[in-house]
């Protein structure tokens, strides 16, 4: 049944539209059903802090691609504590090096432009407007993926073009994640100096209400291609200090990135998209594994009472 | 480095904090790098519709648990086209049946209460306020997980307590997903008639800006425990009609739920949490597989120009 907005409201809370005959099925006794609900923990009855009472502690860590150590890699990031917390990560698209263009120039300029716009009243704490203004002000040749988040009054606003990412962890569980947008495998949406480019209109914009104790993990694809979400949850729940957590995440991602046997998120995705070792290697039971060598940028933010 | 909000703004776009020596690594030639960026598709240069010009087409489908067909299962849902689109799914916690309480009563009352609140000016299009009011107005014994979304002016606001879920698909890619919150495996956060309960304060609240052509898939855990995100993307991109898409998703989830060999999201999660077949079965190479028999509720919404 299709309901358009022009029709009157339809309420079907007790209706089911289709039924089938009961079928035999096997249940596994070791799986607990939801019968233990009465033993579930209760919510904290203390009133939560007001949104104005929240702020962020932030730790950062960047490990450049091994071949780009001297120049500091091609990722760029910015952390502001003016007028709410603004976090930015940009990742210069490496293919420009083949055209004798330093891919770091565009990402760094983009991030610097965002930093210049922070506090501008016309930005109005809107990540998409920050992206729009920062992109418009670039003069370098190149392109970059970018993620911008603004935390103010307990609300985190996120805008992302491409495959930089952000996760939120609450009480040991992931409660929010961005998703990468790409044209095809390993070719993300990106802001560019070319006339053919994505724009702020292509940014995926989302918002999540945060609570004291929540942890934000933001980074370039060098982090998320090499480390699983469950590993991120594990690291941030065992590292209270945000700087230690950022370093631990970057180190783990780096270790995975140079481990040719590790079945990373990147290699899983590659195989799912049909990229694998040649057939004659498959005959010997081989498959494409390993992490992805890349610049790894990590920003960890923890929500605290001011 | 930890930066608190009280410090002046810090800009480190060109700084790297740590470096290691270049290491040898093997690359797989079949993996395309990002060098093909110039061939990436451009963004549409036509101006996007204004937010006020967007609305939803909605299709729904519910398949009750095979043992609960006569009563219509214990899920409840509601779709409103008044004052913006409000979508609600609630899932009655089945453990109450052991106490001779019909688990459907609480979920149905909760959803009916949300429907009564739609359009109330004090609600202000806020899913969390809808959840608060609907919970406060319940008189039935029981408990339920619930997800409420409000679509207005191009913005989708979502509030969720427990493991009902919502996904957004744009141009064949998932761009947004909720995450289940639970106390432990298969015991989700839930609103309850008991004094020990989660409340609207436990709702995960998020917002995503939608575009024309985006597809929302909302449902109970009976959908998301039995069907992978990639399958959801595949189904909605091959079914333009929202009713057909909702039916196809429910049917696929139902087929998986009765397939004891299918390695479902539920069985993957169960094994990851340590629930598996006894050791002597593992000796024979067996493992816990199969879908999860449950009520399956699916709502599919597609953003269109009004």
Burial of A302 (0-12, 13-18, 19+ CB in 10 A): buried
CA distance A125 to B291: 44
Give the pLDDT confidence score for residue A37 in this predicted structure.
Answer: 42
**pLDDT exceeds cutoff 90 at B219:** yes
Confidence band (pLDDT; 50, 70, 90) for A306?
A: confident
Residue A43 is predicted with a pLDDT of: 53
Q: What is the mean pLDDT of residues B291-305?
A: 96
Confidence band for B120, pLDDT divided at 50, 70 and 90: confident
Q: Which residues in chain A have their CB less than 8 angstroms from residue B288's CB?
A: 28, 30-31
- Cα B119 → chain centroid: 24
Is A13 in Cβ contact with B112 (below 8 Å)?
Answer: yes
- Percentage of the residues of chain B whose pLDDT score is greater than 90: 69
The pLDDT of residue A195: 87
User: Which of B66, B81, B112 lies at the smallest CB-CB distance from A22?
Assistant: B66
**A207, A284 in Cβ contact below 8 A?**
no
Q: pLDDT grade, residue A82 (50/70/90)?
A: low
Phi-psi region of B84 (alpha: psi -120 to 50; beta: other; left: phi over 0): left
Asked whether residue A25 carries a pLDDT value surpassing 60, the answer given is no
pLDDT band at A15 (very low <50, low <70, confident <90, very high): very low
Provide the pLDDT for residue B104: 97
Strands B182-184 and B187-188, bridge-based pairing: antiparallel
What is the per-residue pLDDT for B282? 83
**ipTM above 0.85 for this complex:** no
What is the pLDDT confidence band of residue A57, given thresholds at 50, 70 and 90?
A: very high
Q: Which helix (H) or strand (E) holds A247?
A: helix A242-257
Q: Which residues pair with A265 in a beta bridge?
A: none
Rounded to the nearest angstrom, the gap between the alpha carbon of residue B33 and the centroid of all alpha carbons in its chain is 33
pLDDT at position B5 over 50 = no
Half-sphere exposure of A184 (CA within 13 A, CB side): 14
Q: Coil, strand, or helix at residue B250?
A: helix
List A54's β-bridge partners, or say none.
A305
Nearest residue in chain B measured CA to CA from A199: B43
Among the listed residues A164, A151, A163, A160, the one whose alpha carbon sits nearest the alpha carbon of residue A200: A160
Beta strands in A64-199 (DSSP E): 75-80, 85-92, 143-152, 155-161, 165-170, 173-177, 182-184, 187-188, 191-192
**Three state DSSP letters for B14-81:** CCCCCCCCCCCCCCCCCCCCHHHHHHCCCCCCCCCCCHHHEEEEEEEEEECCHHHCCCCCCEEEEEEC
pLDDT digits 0-9 by tens, B62-102? 999 999 999 899 999 999 875 458 999 999 999 999 999 99
pLDDT(B8) > 70:
no
Task: Check residue B285 and give its pLDDT.
Answer: 84
Q: Is the pLDDT of residue A268 over 50?
A: yes
For residues A180 and A269, the answer to whether their CB atoms sit within 8 Å is no
User: Which residues in chain B are closer than 8 Å to A22, comparing Cβ atoms?
Assistant: 66-67, 69
Query: 164-203 in A: which are within 8 Å (CB) of B?
Result: 170, 173-177, 179, 181-183, 185-190, 192, 194, 196-199, 201-202
Where is average pLDDT lowest: A157-171, B32-46, B102-116, B267-281? B32-46
CA distance A263 to A287: 10
Q: Is residue B76 exposed (0-12), middle (13-18) or buried (19+ Cβ within 10 Å)? A: buried
The owner of tokens 């565009």 is A106
Chain B contact set for A104 (CB, 8 A): 14
Tell which residue, B70, B64, B63, B74, has the closest CA to residue B101. B74
Output B68 or B124, whichever has higher pLDDT.
B68
| Statement: residue A76 has pLDDT above 90 | yes
Q: Average model confidence (pLDDT) for chain B?
A: 84
Supply φ then ψ for residue A207, to 5 degrees: -140, 140
| Alpha carbon distance A159, B6 (integer Å) | 25
What would the pLDDT profile of A170-188 be if each residue is shown by its tens digit? Answer: 999 999 999 999 999 889 9
Interface of A with B in 224-243 (CB under 8 A): 230, 241-243
Supply B35's token pair. 């060098």
CA atoms within 13 A on the CB side of B264: 27
Confidence of residue B2 (pLDDT cuts 50, 70, 90): very low
Distance of CA A28 to the CA centre of its chain: 36
Q: How confident is the model at residue A46 (pLDDT cuts 50, 70, 90)?
A: low
Instruction: Nearest by CB to A20, from B66, B173, B205: name it.
Output: B66
Greater pLDDT, A288 or B190: B190
Residues 83-122 of B with CB under 8 A from A: 85, 93-96, 98, 108, 111-112, 115, 118
d(CA A268, CA A274): 10
Phi, psi of B39 (to 5 degrees): -95, 0
pLDDT at B277: 79
| Residues A246-266 pLDDT 10s | 999 999 999 999 999 999 999
Which chain B residue has the Cα nearest residue A108? B13
What would the mean pLDDT of A204-215 be, rounded to a whole number?
A: 96
- Tokens matching residue A11: 């309420």
Whether chain B has a CB inside 8 Å of the CB on A250: the answer is yes
SS3 B288: coil
Asked if pLDDT for residue B274 goes beyond 70, the answer is yes
- Say what the pLDDT of residue A107 is: 98
Dihedral sign computed on CA atoms, order A179, A180, A183, A184: negative
Least confident of A31-40, A95-104, A212-221, B234-243: A31-40
Residues of chain B numbered 30-59 and touching chain A (CB < 8 Å): 30-38, 40-43, 48, 55-59
Residue A200 or residue B41, greater confidence: A200
For residues B77 and B104, give the distance between their C-alpha atoms in angstroms, rounded to a whole number.
11
pLDDT, position A50: 73
Mean pLDDT score across all residues of chain A: 84
* pLDDT number for residue A257: 97
- The tokens for B263 are 């390695």
B165 to chain A: nearest residue by CA?
A: A175
Beta bridge partners of A87: A79, A149
Q: What is the pLDDT of residue B46?
A: 57
Of B18, B94, B272, the CB nearest to A61: B18
Q: H helices within B118-200, ranges in order?
A: 127-136
Q: How far is A67 from chain B (nearest CA, A)?
A: 6
Nearest CA in chain B to A43: B198
Q: Is the pLDDT of residue B112 over 80?
A: yes
Which residues of chain A neighbour B82 with C-beta distances below 8 Å? 8-9
Residues of B with Cβ-Cβ distance to A208 under 8 angstroms:
204-207
Q: Could you read off the pLDDT of B13-65 as tens digits, one per residue?
A: 332 222 222 232 222 222 334 444 444 444 545 566 776 789 999 999 999 99
Closest residue by Cα to residue B149 from B300, B255, B31? B300
Taking the CB of residue B209, how many other CB atoms lie within 10 A of it? 19
Q: Is the pLDDT of residue A11 over 60?
A: no
Average pLDDT (B97-116) is: 96
Query: Which class for A59: exposed (0-12), middle (13-18), buried (19 or more C-beta within 10 A)?
Result: buried
Are B14 and A72 in contact (CB < 8 Å)?
A: yes
pTM, to two decimals: 0.83
pLDDT band at A200 (very low <50, low <70, confident <90, very high): very high
How confident is the model over B114-134, as a mean pLDDT? 92
| Residue burial B179-195, b: 16+ Cβ < 10 Å; e: rest | bbbbbeebbbbbbbbee
A139 contacts A109 by C-beta, under 8 angstroms: yes
CB B160 within 8 A of CB B189: no
- The Cα of B194 is separated from the nearest Cα of chain A by a number of Å equal to 8
Which residue would you say has higher pLDDT here, A30 or A120? A120
Torsion of Cα atoms, A160 then A166 then A168 then A173, to 10°:
130
Residues of A in contact with B14 (CB under 8 A): 72, 76, 104, 108
Reported as half-sphere exposure (CB side, CA atoms, 13 A), residue B299 has a value of: 29
Interchain contact A12–B (C-beta under 8 A)? yes
Least confident of A125-129, A280-284, B112-116: A280-284
Chain A contact set for B201 (CB, 8 A)? 43, 48
Compare CB distances from B76 to A13, A41, A176 and report the shortest one's residue.
A13
Average pLDDT over residues A275-303: 90
A215–B contact, CB cutoff 8 A: no
Chain A interface includes B274 (CB < 8 A):
no
Shortest Cα distance, chain A CAs vs residue B205, angstroms: 5
A80 shares contact with chain B (CB less than 8 Å): yes
Residues 6+ apart with CB under 8 A from B237: B169, B172
At residue A294, does pLDDT exceed 90? Answer: yes
Handedness of CA B69, B266, B206, A185 (dihedral sign): negative
């Amino acid at each position: 049944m299709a309901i358009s907005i022009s029709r009157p409201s339809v309420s079907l809370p007790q209706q089911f539209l289709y039924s089938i005959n009961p079928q035999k099925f096997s249940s596994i006794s070791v799986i607990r059903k939801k019968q233990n609900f009465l033993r579930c923990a209760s919510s904290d009855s203390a009133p939560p802090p007001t949104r104005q009472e929240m702020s962020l502690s932030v730790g950062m860590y960047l490990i450049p691609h091994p071949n780009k150590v001297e120049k500091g890699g091609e990722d760029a990031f910015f952390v502001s504590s003016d007028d709410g917390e603004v976090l930015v990560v940009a990742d210069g698209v490496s293919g420009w090096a083949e055209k004798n263009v330093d891919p770091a120039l565009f990402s760094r300029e983009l991030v610097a432009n965002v930093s210049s716009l922070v506090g501008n009243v016309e930005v109005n704490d809107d990540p998409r407007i920050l992206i729009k203004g920062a992109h418009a002000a670039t003069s370098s040749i190149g392109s970059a993926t970018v993620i911008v988040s603004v935390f103010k009054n307990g609300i985190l606003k996120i805008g992302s073009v491409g495959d930089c990412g952000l996760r939120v962890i609450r009480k040991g569980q992931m409660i929010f994640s961005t998703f990468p947008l790409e044209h095809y495998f390993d070719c993300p949406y990106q802001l560019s100096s070319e006339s053919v480019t994505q724009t702020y209109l292509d940014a995926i914009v989302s918002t999540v209400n945060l609570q004291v104790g929540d942890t934000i993990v933001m980074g370039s694809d060098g982090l998320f291609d090499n480390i699983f979400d469950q590993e991120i949850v594990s690291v941030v729940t065992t590292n209270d200090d945000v700087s230690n957590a950022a370093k631990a995440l970057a180190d783990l991602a780096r270790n995975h990135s140079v481990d040719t046997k590790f079945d990373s998120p990147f290699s899983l995705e590659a195989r799912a998209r049909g990229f694998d070792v040649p057939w004659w290697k498959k005959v010997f039971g081989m498959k494409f594994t390993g992490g992805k060598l890349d610049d790894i940028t990590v920003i960890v933010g923890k929500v605290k009472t001011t």
